Every structure is written in structure tokens, then in C-alpha cells.
Amino acid sequence: MIRIGDKVFQTNVFLAPLAGCSDLPFRLICREHGALMAFFEMISSDALVREREKTLSMLKSVPADSPVAGQLLGSDAELMLDAALKMKEHADVEFIDINAACPVRKVVVNGQGAALFKTPEKLFAIIKILALKSGLPVTVKLRTGFDKSDTRALIDVVRGCEGAGVSAIFLHGRTRAQMYGGDVDYEAIKMAKENLSVPLFASGNILSAPLANKMFEETGCDGIIVARGAMGNPWIFKDINGFLKNGLCSPKPGKKQRIETLKKHLSYIRKYSDLTDSSVIGLMRKAALWYLKDFASAAAARGKVTGSQNYEELLKVLDKLQI
């Protein structure tokens, strides 16, 4: 168990708020394979306050999709508060996370995401107003630095975040410049943890159960968040939970199990999506490619998947792959 503010969770292994990925179907399939806590995908504060239909649809949930947290992107404290209150109105979230980690250029140039590392006073102001007025625990997602890892600056930022009122910190072990590649800075995460009294969750390169265990051992973190490691691999949560308990790796799922799980994932996309048929098949193709990425005949399979024009055609392709 782990506590974030006044909330208690039965796990310290969370599914990350992956932009463009962590939709309801993805969360549900991960929950069925051991993910006990998840986030909605990253949501723009401005779009949420404006109640744009597409943005509100990102908050769709069902009883089986619980507990869940929300993550907001923005840089204006008052607007972020309005968005937090709007999120509470539309979803039953356990806490609200402030995204100060997204490295994408179109986000950073607007002073949002990872750019907040360079304007810590603005970040602290956002934390303070949300912690005081949102009525929910507030957390923040950070990186180890902007252009390069800077332990001194990182410690100043995490201490400032705690002083401003965060109930936990989620730290990606790479800089903004590294994006999602390069080595994870375990030492920086460890230093941040040693300078905090609130829980610290680590992320970065958690692609398997042994790598999850390495993150705990190298950093002393209180928890982890799994991101890309869950794409096409929802079993990673059971693998991690088992490995942390007994040190044993689960056998990899066979082709049949993987395709059956993919089919279930696709059925959730079909059931819960409000998009047009052409957009839905795009989501389905994307999900299918995650699961098929390391098949022996991956190249041929990818070609057939991307050529599928509808749900029924895609199922036929998958049925042939099972033979």
C-alpha cells in the first residue's frame, strides 16, 4: 500500500498517463492484467476549461476503471485550477497531477510541460493554488533536468514542489533533451528521493519486470509508473508484481494468448470509442502494431494490419496469424 495525500492505494506500480495511448480501452486491458492504478491520458487545461467534446471524451470511464487519476497540462495557475475543478466535475479522480515533464516541442515552446523546470516559481504557484483550492491531493511529474541532468537544480525543484504542497512526485529519469531515449539517470532519482518526505515514483525504461526491480533497487523510490513498457504488453503488471514478490519472471505469453488479448483490446476500442469509423480503425491499427512488433513475421503482419479498412478485415488478418 502507498498513500498520496489522504488517498491510500493497494499498489505502488501505476500505469502512466500516456498521451494518445492511455484511453479507456488501454486502461481496461492493463487492469485485467494486474494494473491496479491508472491515469487518464494527459489533458490540456485550456481545452478542458473550454469543454471541448474531444477532451471531455478523454475522461470517459466505467466502474471497472477505478481508481484513476488525472493529469493536466498548462502553465497558468488560475486556468489550471479551473481545469482541475472541471475535471472533478466530469470524472471521479483520486488526485490531480501537474505535467512538468512532457518534452514535445509544441508543448515546451508554450512554456508548458518540461519547460516548467526552467520556471520553477511558476510551477510552485500552480501547485499552491491547486493544493489549496482543488479539494484533491496534487502531484507533479518532472524530469531530471532540461538540457542536461542537474542534480542541484533538481533537488531545489523537488524541495520547492514539496514546500508548495505536492503529495507525491513522479520523476522521469531523463532530461527534456533526451526525450525518451538514452540512459536513465538512476543517481539523480536517488538524490531526489533522499531529499523528499513525500512519496517519489520513478519512471523511464521500465520495459520489463527485471528493469522495474532495478529501478527500485538503484533509486530507493517508493513506487514506479509504467509507460511504453505496457504498450502491447499489458502482462507487464503481473510480471512486475510477481517478480517483486518472488524474484521470478513469468513465461512470455504465446502467440495465441497475445492475439486473443489484442482482439479483446480491439473490442474495447469498438465498444467505447465515440469516433468515426475511419478514426476508430486508425486506433485499432495502432494498438495492433504494438502487440505484433516482435512477431517472427512482424513485417508482413504489419503490412496486412495497416492495409485493413475496417474491424472485420482486421480480425481476419489476426485469425490468419493465429494459425
Structural domain for 285, as ranges: 255-322
pLDDT in tens, 15-69: 999 998 999 999 999 999 999 999 999 999 999 999 999 999 999 999 999 999 9
Claim to verify: residue 148 and residue 32 sit in the same structural domain: yes
Claim to verify: residue 83 and residue 209 sit in the same structural domain: yes
Give the pLDDT confidence score for residue 219 in this predicted structure: 98
| pLDDT for 279 beyond 80 | no
Residues contacting residue 31 through CB under 8 Å, at least 6 positions apart: 38, 64, 65
- The residues carrying an active-site annotation are 102
| pLDDT for 306 beyond 90 | no
Claim to verify: residue 26 and residue 134 sit in the same structural domain: yes
Give the pLDDT confidence score for residue 305 in this predicted structure: 84
Which range, of 22-26, 118-122, 182-186, 286-290, averages the lowest pLDDT? 286-290
Claim to verify: residue 191 and residue 286 sit in the same structural domain: no
| pLDDT for 300 beyond 80 | no
pLDDT band at 197 (very low <50, low <70, confident <90, very high): very high
Claim to verify: residue 208 and residue 292 sit in the same structural domain: no
Mean pLDDT, the chain, rounded, equals 93
Residue 19 corresponds to which cell in the numbers above? 498521451
Which range, of 68-77, 271-280, 282-291, averages the lowest pLDDT? 271-280
Claim to verify: residue 115 and residue 52 sit in the same structural domain: yes
Percent with pLDDT over 90 in the chain: 78
Number of domains in the chain: 2
Claim to verify: residue 234 and residue 299 sit in the same structural domain: no
| pLDDT for 323 beyond 60 | no
| pLDDT for 313 beyond 80 | yes
Tell which of 186, 221, 246 closes a domain: 246
Tell which of 246, 268, 297 closes a domain: 246
pLDDT in tens, 66-106: 999 999 999 999 999 999 999 999 999 999 999 999 999 99
Claim to verify: residue 95 and residue 177 sit in the same structural domain: yes
Give the pLDDT confidence score for residue 298 in this predicted structure: 62
Give the pLDDT confidence score for residue 223 in this predicted structure: 98
Average confidence (pLDDT) over 218-238 = 97
Claim to verify: residue 237 and residue 270 sit in the same structural domain: no
pLDDT band at 184 (very low <50, low <70, confident <90, very high): very high
pLDDT band at 248 (very low <50, low <70, confident <90, very high): confident
| pLDDT for 297 beyond 70 | no
The pairing of beta strand 223-226 with beta strand 13-15: parallel
| pLDDT for 236 beyond 80 | yes
Claim to verify: residue 279 and residue 189 sit in the same structural domain: no
Give the C-alpha separation, 99 to 130, whole Å: 13
Average confidence (pLDDT) over 240-261 = 90
315 neighbors 322 (Cβ within 8 angstroms)? no
* CATH for 221: 3.20.20.70
Claim to verify: residue 90 and residue 220 sit in the same structural domain: yes
Claim to verify: residue 205 and residue 263 sit in the same structural domain: no
Give the C-alpha separation, 255 to 322, whole Å: 7
84 neighbors 72 (Cβ within 8 angstroms)? yes
Tell which of 191, 217, 246 closes a domain: 246
